[in-house]
């Protein structure tokens, strides 16, 4: 996956944010996921308009984390979300 990709939340996913943590329910997989605050920040940004590069900019701006490490984490994280059918 590259940073020019645009992803959006799967319409299958039901979710709410509690205390900054996204709780995501996937009916088709009968599973519930709770994301940490940075994961939740990314999740909320996956709106089908922003590229991953733009989301990376926001993460680096919002959190005290180096760009290189953030990029690796972001790509791994959205890859996992995609593998689980949570984004497309």
With respect to other proteins, which residue has the nearer C-beta, 32 or 80? 32
Question: Minimum distance from CB of 61 to other proteins (Å)?
Answer: 26
Q: For residue 76, what are the CA distances in angstroms to 33, 50, 67?
A: 16, 17, 14
Q: Supply the minimum distance, in Å, between the C-beta of residue 64 and other proteins.
A: 23
CB-wise, 4 or 18, nearer to other proteins? 18
Of 84, 76, 78, 77, nearest to 31 by C-alpha is: 84
Q: Where does this chain bind other proteins (CB under 8 A)?
A: 11-12, 14-19, 21, 23, 25, 27-28, 30, 32-34
In 3D space, the residue among 6, 17, 4, 9 whose CA is nearest the CA of residue 84 turns out to be: 9
């Amino acid at each position: 996956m590259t940073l020019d990709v645009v992803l959006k939340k799967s319409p299958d996913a039901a979710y709410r944010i509690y205390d900054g943590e996204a709780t995501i329910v996937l009916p088709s997989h009968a599973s519930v996921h709770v994301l940490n605050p940075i994961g939740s920040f990314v999740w909320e940004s996956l709106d089908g308009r922003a590229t991953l590069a733009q989301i990376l900019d926001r993460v680096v701006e919002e959190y005290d984390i180096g760009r290189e490490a953030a990029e690796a984490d972001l790509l791994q994280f959205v890859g996992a979300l995609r593998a689980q059918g949570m984004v497309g």
